[in-house]
Structures are given as structure tokens and as C-alpha cells.
Amino acid sequence: MLTEKLNKESNKDLNRTLSEEFSSNKSNTVQSSSANSAENDAYVLGLNAAGLLAEVVGFETEEVVRSAYGTDIETYQGRHFIDFTGGIAVHACGHNHPEIVAAIVAQAQQVLHVSDTMRHAPQLELAHWLRNLFAGILPGDPEDPYTFLFKNSGSESIDAAAKLAIKATGRHKLAAFEGAFHGRSMLASALSRSKTVHWQAYEDFLNPLRANIIHLPAPRCSGCELRRDTAECCANGLEALLETHGSEIAAVFIEAQQGEGGYMPMAPAAGKKIRDLTRKHGVLLIADEIQAGCGRTGRWFAFQHLGIEPDIIVFGKAVGGGLPLAGIAARKELMERWQPGEHGTTFGGNPIACAAGLAALKIIARDGLVERAAETGAAIKARLQPYIGRFGIVEVRGNGLMIGVELRDAAGQPDYARCEAVKLKAREAGLMLLTCGAKIGKPSVDNAAIRLIPPLNVAPDVVERAMIIFLAALQDDLAQAA
């Protein structure tokens, strides 16, 4: 077995051993002779049918994954899929990259968990690597470098960013945008405005929170009712708010490219104006990079497309290399406005997650995956561009490998049902996709899209196979609807 081999190998041979193992057996370490047997398959599938897991998370399929490698997923039901979901934009390097697995195994043999009783090497090494990255993309005062607070999830990190902003400014209100999605915790749900289903059941509880949260018009040119020549008007709502209530606002949350809200990139002119306005009024700007960060948009962070420097950066998903890891970044002077004990975590910055995350980030940098995401994304958009106006496609948008394909019906309304149908058609043919799009009952915000978020190192031949399946699903579904 692989684990027995690893116990006998020195650290310098770990990568070679894992690479050989994965090349010969893509089913990975979880499989044994018994797991491959029909008896064990029936056992697992029986568990799946037993209603053991809460359905509230909305599992996309009834499939149970057996193994995953790169863009390939195999299930206990015997299906094989090309995965263009990546664990919802988590697997920047693909499923089970051997170097990430090696880092996990090596760290598991040393330290599993210490919490905040003491620091540990993977956490320090990851923070050091990130500080160097930020120094390169956001040069500033070397005496005030970036520091980091590691958490488990994006929602936790959004809460942490809000707490820091409130503490640092002494103000008590927050602002966010329509179409935004910032997570599932109570505060993150109150901040979000992408789908009513995300908050409607909790509305009575959230309303008191929302007394301190202002939602501004969605910062998007696509579908804008004003149809002006300048994108700066996206910030007009914020400008009016800050002129009257600027002294109460602690922070403004932005997504440089909205995720759940429809993969809508913000125009650089709007981003710059938002940054100028927040600086003018002493308001902190918080960039939610949970889904868009770590190279996904063809830059290390999506806010780089706007040419701005946020005050607090929230990161997650891909930063853990497949394990739960997220956090916030801010310059040292701002982070030190917190006093010890004003925030904390039990598992945040876990040694194994940090080791996996550092391995993933090193792969992204070494293999040029940020640039590759930009190139592959441009190629996919060019491939789909001729189909705008056909199959219900009205727009193909997004940066890098964070691409949204928007569908509308003959009446010009968001075609949520058809996005779902195309997703299912593609799945039948072996391609895993996800949908996105705001649905709050507001025409200027609502949209329905299919998202394309493969690994940043997805191979060209896999992209082509995926595009063939996707376009066939679009065409077949439209023919059936007719």
C-alpha cells in the first residue's frame, strides 16, 4: 500500500514515489482491494441511500466520488466526469496533485494540531510566502508589511474582516453591493444580496443586523439601465451614501468579480472611484477574494484588474490546496489595532492545511498557472464568442478561468430553468458544471449563468472535449425545448 511505502521513503523521495503511484493508479490512496470489490461498493451506495447527510447544502448529484485526479472524477456508480467545478473553485492545481498530497502526508507525520497555544512552521512559512507575494504586487512601506490571520472558511474570514474594520475605525455600519455573495454565516448572509433563498428563512433574525448594513446598487455595466459611457456611475450610490453617512461607515465590501451573483467583473473605473471615495471618507475597503483569488482570474487577485489596493483582503478556497483554509491580509499597522483576545480560532491555520496551501501556491507560481489561466480563459471565451446570440447565450464574461455564460429567454428574462437543464445535459455526457446568477427580484441585478471554473492547469485537449460537450448540451436542450 502507498502509506507503507511512504513510511519507508525519505522525504526527498516523497514526490517521486507519489508521482509514480499516481501515474500507475489514478484511483489514489483511498482505494484498497476491498474498496474495489462489489461488496464494498454496495455498502457505500447503501450508506448514500440512507439519508445520513442533511440535504440543505444542495448536493448537485446522487453520485459518490470514488477517486479524483486532475480534472477526472470517478464515482462509485461507475461514472467518469470531466470536472469543471473544481470543488467550487478550490482545486487550482487539479484534484489530488501529487506534490500537495506529499506535503499533507509529510506534515501529518509531524504535527496535526496545536491551535493558538503556539505557532507552527507551516503557518509561518505560508505567511512568509504570502508576505513576499503581496510585497511584489502591492509595494508600499516596507516598515508596514502585510500580516495574516488564518481561518477555516471564507465566511469566518468575512466575519473577521468586519470585526477588524469596526474595531479599527470605531464605526458601526458596513456597506456591500447588490448581487454580492460573502458566505453563509449570519453576518455574511446579512452582507450578501445574490439570492433570496440564502437569507429569506432567517429574515426576522437578520433584520436587526441589516440596520447596520447598507446595500448599494450592483456595480456592473452589463444590463445597466442607465446605459452611460462611463463605468464610474457604478459608484454613484456609494458616493451619495458617504456624503451623508460617511462618518458611520466602517468598511465597504467589494468583489472585483462577483461570484454567486453571476461572474460579473467590476469595471476598473468603478473600482478606482470606489477606492478614492473610501479613502476620502476614512472608510476601509475590504476585497472579497475568496473565489476569485490565487490566480483564478489570470492575476493573483481579482482586485489587480482594477488597479487598486484594498485595506483588507479576504482569501479562501484555492489557498488551502483542497483543505479548509482561509483568512485575511492587512498591513501590520492596521492588524495591530486588534488587541489579543478580541478575535480567535481553534482550527484556523491548521498545520496540514497550511502545508497543503503552501505547496499549492508554490505550484501555481512555479508552473506559471496565473498566466496560464489568463491564456486558457481567453481561448475559451474566443471559442464561445461566435455563439453569442445563439442557444440563448447573451454574454460570455469574466477574467481568466472564472467565466460566466449568461442565458436569457426569448423575452429577455434570466433563464434559470434552462441553465439548470443545460447543466444536467452536460452532466449526462460526462461534464460537471455549476450555475450562478443573482435572483433577488430586481431586473438590473438578476441574471442566470453557467460558470466554467476548471483547474488553472487544465490541459488544452480537456478544454476542447469540455467545450464540445457544453455546446452540444446547449444545442440539444434548445432543440428539445422547441
Q: What is the pLDDT of residue 219?
A: 82
Give the chain's residues under pLDDT 70. Answer: 1-36, 221-232, 477-482
**Is the separation of the CB atoms in 433 and 452 below 8 Å?**
yes
Strands of the sheet containing 146-151, edge to edge, are: 146-151, 326-331, 312-315, 284-288, 249-254, 173-177, 213-216
Angle formed by the axes of helices 460-481 and 369-384, to 10°?
30
* Pick from 444, 365, 427, 433: nearest CA to 405: 433
**Is the separation of the CB atoms in 66 and 75 below 8 Å?**
yes
Q: What is the pLDDT of residue 171?
A: 97
Cβ partners under 8 Å of residue 234, min gap 6: 217, 218, 219, 220, 221, 224, 266, 267, 270, 273
Sole residue written with cell 446579512: 190
| DSSP string across 239-253 | HHHHHHHGGGEEEEE
Mean pLDDT for the chain? 91
**Is the separation of the CB atoms in 127 and 121 below 8 Å?**
no
- Domain ranges in the chain? 2-96+368-481, 106-366
How far is it, in rounded angstroms, from Cα 219 to Cα 438? 13
Q: What is the pLDDT of residue 225?
A: 55
Fold type of domain 106-366: Aspartate Aminotransferase; domain 2 (3.40.640)
> pLDDT digit string (tens) for 123-143?
999 999 999 999 999 998 999
How far is it, in rounded angstroms, from Cα 405 to Cα 278? 32
Cβ partners under 8 Å of residue 369, min gap 6: 92, 93, 295, 363, 456, 457
CB 467: neighbour CB atoms within 10 A? 16
> pLDDT digit string (tens) for 187-241?
999 999 999 999 999 999 999 999 999 999 988 766 555 555 556 677 889 999 9
Sole residue written with cell 480560532: 345
* Pick from 321, 291, 317: nearest CA to 303: 291
Q: What is the pLDDT of residue 55?
A: 95
Q: What is the pLDDT of residue 223?
A: 58
CATH of 2-96+368-481, one of 3.30.9.10, 3.40.50.150, 3.90.650.10, 3.90.1150.10: 3.90.1150.10
Percent of the chain predicted with pLDDT > 70: 89
* Pick from 226, 228, 224, 235: nearest CA to 268: 235
- What cell does 79 get? 461514472
**Is the separation of the CB atoms in 379 and 458 below 8 Å?**
no
Q: What is the pLDDT of residue 91?
A: 98
How far is it, in rounded angstroms, from Cα 255 to Cα 436? 15
Q: What is the pLDDT of residue 417?
A: 97
> Which secondary-structure segment (H or E) carries 416?
helix 416-428
How far is it, in rounded angstroms, from Cα 48 to Cα 436? 26
**Is the separation of the CB atoms in 241 and 249 below 8 Å?**
yes
**Residue 176, helix vs strand vs coil:** strand
